Every structure is written in C-alpha cells, then in structure tokens.
A and B are shown apart, each in its own frame.
Chain A
C-alpha cells in the first residue's frame, strides 16, 4: 500500500470580488447608511432616521427570526406566524395596562420590571400557543406546501378573531412607561429613548441566537438540520423534537417582537401581526430562507430603507421595500446568504 497521500492546503489567489463576496451582505448596511447620509441634507435628521431605521429593523428581525428557522428546518411555510406577533402584543400590553401603577411611576426600576413582566408573560403565552399551533395545524401538513399555506392562513384568521373575542374589535392605545418616553439629544439630533432600547434588545437577541447556533450542540443540530435533516436523523437525533423546540422559541420571539412593536406604535390591533407579515416575509426572503444572519441583515436594510425613503420621497415609501427585494433577488436569487440545501 502506498504512503499516505499528501493533502497540502491550497491557497489559490482569489480575486477581489471573490474575497468580498461573502461580506457583501454585511457591507450593504454601511453602504445604505452612507447613501442615506449623502441623500439627506441635514445630519441630525439623518442620525434620527438611521436610529429609527435600525430600531425598526431590529424589531422586524426579532419577529422574523423564528420563521426563517422554521422554514429552513422543516420546509414549513407558516403564514400564521403573524398571529404570534398579535397575541404577544395583546397579552404583553394587557399586562402593562394592569401594571399601570408601575409604568406610570417615575421610577426606572419599576418601569423596567413592568416591561420585563409583560415581555415574559407574552413570550410564555406565545411559546405555548406555538406548541399548540405546531401540533394542531402544522404537523398534519408536513411536506405539503399548498396545504401549509391554506391551513396556516386559516389559523391566522382564527387567532385574529379570537383576539377580537377576548379584547374587542377596537384598537388599544397605550402610553409607553415613563422611562421609555421622550428622547435624548445627541449631536443635535433627537433620538427617542425607546428606539435606542429596541436596538439594544435586537442586538442582544441576535447575539444570543448566534451563540446558541454556533456554540451549543443543539445549535449545531439546528444548523445541520437546516442543511440536511435526513442525515441529522441518521446520526441519531430526533429532528422532530428539535423542530418543535425551534417552533416554540420562534413563536415566543415573535411574541416579544409583538410587545416591542406595540410599544413602538403605541397602538395595537388584532391585524398588526398580519400587517407585519409583509415586512417579515420580505426580510426572510431577501436574507435567504433558513439563514438567521441573512434575516438580521435583511431586517436592518428594510428598516433603514423604509425610514430614509419615507423622509425623502414619502410616496415611494410604500414600494421601497418591494423594490429592495426585487433588487436583491436579481443580485442573489436565493437571498443574500443562501442556505446550502442537500437534496
């Protein structure tokens, strides 16, 4: 038998575009911010818009992240994902309204405790609802895309109507807790406190998801499952359980996003999740179905684009995100960070 073959690492010279390629999606964010800076005459407006764009992006990311993993892992298209956003908002905001004495008090600690309580209860509720939704609605239609669309849209409608049954048909207006009202002034620009908090929460959620997906075994199973679920099972992992777990976590995150979105808009309606679904789908598609990083970048791009364009050309704002999606899909038809699929 011959000696072991040599396998020296090959370091072929890559062209600039090859080396930049993997980083292009990330670079799009600073590029868009710089374009905004050039297009917007006043620096302070630009700064305000950039912060609100990033805040909006973070909230969309939190709402969308679960959907992209659910699709990646089990090829399930869940049009009902927006239901968790609505339910999260209604449960969370109800808790906040019940804790009115805490949210109105001029104490930062009490305010934050109230918000924390609202968020936790909302996430528990939407997580539990995700578990039930998966069992009752999604499980029977594994592998059938058309049925998934039909039945999950149906689920969304039922949930919306249930919200109206419990909370009534009127939209609910609310005030943010004392500590989250108002703005701070930085470099002549007014930056709303709540938006800065939203950016912070978004970054924490993204960092936590990345940590789980990159550094834990369950995260490895999820990433491997997105690529080749059959092989994950052949190694001995029960993918179905992992999927249910991801579905629950994704639903809870959508619930968190719903609370944050409600506090951002200061009004909630039963249809808010349905309305958010348009943005959520755009983000998930341009990011690359199944990719959390892509979803994150896509959400920030959508948030920034929406805010810049709404300022520069309000009439164009409605189609700016669709335009962004078209442009990105023409550049990368599988999304910015396409997920490798074995099949």
Chain B
C-alpha cells in the first residue's frame, strides 16, 4: 500500500459532545475499491463526512495525494477532485435530472461523452432526463447520485451506502457501474452494508468499531474467513 491517494492519520471527530471518531487511521490505495465496513453506528459515515469536510477533525490529519486537506473548506476539497455520494443520496428533488447533472459538472458544461457513459450505465436517467428528480424511484435516485459523481473526472470517490434499500436488480446495476469506474482507474472508498456486494467489489477493506479502524487488509482475506467476520462485525453471512 505505497503511495495511497488518501490517508487518514489519527483522526478524531466530535459531533456535539459525542466523540464519534477516536483516532481513525486508514489508507485508500490508488485505482482500487476500498471498503469501509463495520456495524451500524461505528463511525463509517462520520469518516466520509470528515474527509469531505462536513464535519471537522478535532485532531489528526487527512492527506489527499500527500496534500493536507484537514482544514480545507468543503467546496475546495470537492474541486480537488473528490466526488461524494452521501448516505441520503443528496439529490436535489426540486431540480430535474438534467439540472442535477449540470450542477454536478462543476468545472464547465457537461461532457457529452461522459453523459453517454452515464446513460449507458443508467438508461432510466435518459428516459427521465427532464423529470423532477424528486419524482424518481429510490433506485433511480441512487442512479442519479452515482451519475453525478461520474459527471466529471474525480481523483477519489467517496460513496456512502451504495445499495441501501435497493432492489436486487438495481444493486447489480450499481455494482456494474462501480466496476466500470474502477476499470477506468478510479479510486473508490465505499461504505457498504451488503456483504455480498462488498465481497464482489472490494479490493481492500477496513473494518471499523467504536470510532476506530480495527482491521485492515485484503477484501478477499476477510471474505474468506467467516470467523474473522464474526469477530470483527458480529455478522454471520449465512443468516
């Protein structure tokens, strides 16, 4: 794991009086999918929100390509090429699909080639191009949220809960879209509850508990070791 695109060193984040992150250390290697796993409430979402700057780290450092972005304002972090898909998808319901995409292209007009790629990955977005995004189904909204980060070249993708509440057919559409991104060399940090998806997509994994990373390694290693999963996440895949 030399030269990671993103590095967190001993990051502490408080929300109000609660100490949510208590010294998170993690690396996101370049050109790979890194899974951030763990039970509910261990700090996965807070980790992503701290990276993008919605919450501020009280202590520790966040390095993007070696550049310290710990106190950089959110818009500047985004313009450094960090694409963020929040847990609630962050769709602008009042705007059309088209307008959502126009906003997603921060540095200029939408690139038609990228748009073709988006439509190929998510055909419903073409159908509903001029519809208000608020009227989309849950799956279509998630497609739009991924499409938005695809609207520009990004150095790093932060995706919180790719498949939450989605039907199996749509989960496979999402997984395919992410695999495409990865094939183009994207670096992705992905929070995911669906272990099957994590297993299929992830190259590396970090497992969190209680505001810390308690295990880091290859996703394949974690996927192949049921005892380890049980110990780290208290989950049994068979159930």
Contacts and interface: CB of A to CB of B under 8 A. Distances in A.
Contacts of B196: none
Interface residues of B, number: 34
Interface stretch (A102-110, A149-157, A231-239): A231-239
A30 interface: no
Most chain B CB inside 10 Å of its own CB: which residue of A2, A223, A234, A238:
A234
Contacts of B148: 235
Contacts of A220: 95, 99, 102-103
A239 B106 CA distance: 13
A108 B124 CA distance: 57
A202 B15 CA distance: 46
A187 interface: no
A340 interface: yes
Nearest to A239: B75
Interface stretch (B2-10, B165-173, B222-230): B165-173
A234 to B, nearest CB: 5
Interface in A218-238: 220-221, 223-224, 226-228, 230-238
A155 B106 CA distance: 37
B173 A5 contact: yes
B86 interface: yes
Contacts, number: 82
B62 to A, nearest CB: 15
A227 B133 CA distance: 12
A299 B88 CA distance: 35
A231 B86 contact: yes
A142 to B, nearest CB: 14
Contacts of A227: 92-95
A234 B78 contact: yes
B74 A233 contact: yes
A217 B92 contact: no
A224 B103 CA distance: 9
A232 B103 contact: yes
Interface in A177-202: none
Nearest to B107: A236
A231 B90 contact: yes
B216 interface: no
Given A5-B173, A223-B95, A235 B124 contact: no
B128 to A, nearest CB: 7
Interface in B47-100: 52, 54, 73-76, 78-79, 84, 86, 88, 90, 92-95, 99
A2 to B, nearest CB: 6
Contacts of B137: 7
A9 interface: yes
Given A217-B103, A223-B95, A233 B75 contact: yes
A235 B106 contact: yes
B103 A235 contact: yes
A2 B172 contact: yes
Contacts of B172: 1-2
B106 A1 contact: no
B217 interface: no
B114 interface: no
A339 B127 CA distance: 26
Nearest to A9: B127
A330 interface: no
Nearest to B78: A236
A146 interface: no
A328 to B, nearest CB: 21
B41 interface: no
Interface string B96-131: 000100111010000000000000000110011000
Contact of A340 (B52, B124, B134): B134
B176 interface: yes
23 contacts: A1-B172, A4-B173, A5-B170, A7-B127, A9-B128, A217-B102, A217-B103, A220-B102, A223-B92, A223-B94, A223-B99, A224-B94, A224-B99, A231-B90, A231-B92, A232-B103, A233-B73, A234-B90, A235-B78, A235-B104, A236-B75, A340-B93, A342-B88
Q: Which 4 A-B pairs have the closest CB atoms?
A: A236-B78, A231-B90, A7-B124, A236-B106
